[in-house]
């Protein structure tokens, strides 16, 4: 089940992000929960939060800020269900496009985004700091799709 998360869900959202590792900080998550122009959607299995997506409304577009899924449910369609909810939210907001950026090494996420109609718009060279154990910075892949 997917539902809108609220400040009362802050602790379980932080716990999920620690497992999922999407890169969102505690402060970013809390700010998103409090922002009227941001929707944070949670995917629940029984009473456990196992996935979330954060989308922000921009003047003409919407931007997927983060999506995270607990490793124990990878490959079970949670990310796809969240992407469908994100796209529906952007359409409800009457956004023209849905934007996102992703590490070029995150092939699992890139496959998901392409499956949902996202195409590459460009790259930001050296945008992300190196992941633990890696040297150098990493490019961000910029992607979008029409709503």
Nearest to 102 by CA among 113, 117, 116, 91: 113
CA R_g for the chain? 15
pLDDT at 135 over 80: no
Q: What is the pLDDT of residues 26-61, one digit of tens each?
A: 999 999 999 999 999 999 999 999 999 999 999 999
pLDDT at 133 over 80: no
Burial of 8 (0-12, 13-18, 19+ CB in 10 A): exposed
Q: What is the pLDDT of residues 69-126, one digit of tens each?
A: 999 999 999 999 999 999 999 999 999 999 999 999 999 999 999 999 999 999 999 8
Structure-token pair, residue 137? 């910075």
User: What secondary structure letter does DSSP report for 74?
Assistant: T
pLDDT band, very low/low/confident/very high, at 1 (cuts 50, 70, 90): very high
- Position 15 scores a pLDDT of 96
**Overall fold of domain 2-146:** Aminopeptidase (3.40.630)
């Amino acid at each position: 089940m997917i539902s809108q998360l609220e400040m009362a869900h802050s602790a379980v959202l932080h716990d999920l992000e620690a497992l999922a590792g999407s890169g969102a900080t505690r402060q970013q998550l809390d700010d998103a929960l409090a922002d009227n122009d941001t929707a944070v959607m949670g995917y629940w299995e029984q009473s456990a939060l196992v996935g979330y997506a954060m989308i922000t409304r921009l003047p003409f577009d919407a931007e997927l800020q983060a999506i995270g899924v607990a490793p124990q449910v990878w490959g079970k369609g949670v990310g796809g269900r969240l992407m469908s909810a994100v796209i529906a939210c952007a359409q409800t907001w009457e956004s023209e496009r849905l934007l996102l950026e992703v590490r070029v090494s995150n092939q699992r996420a890139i496959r998901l985004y392409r499956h949902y109609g996202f195409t590459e718009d460009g790259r930001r060279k050296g945008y992300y700091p190196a992941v633990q154990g890696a040297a150098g910075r990493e490019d961000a892949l910029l992607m979008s799709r029409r709503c």
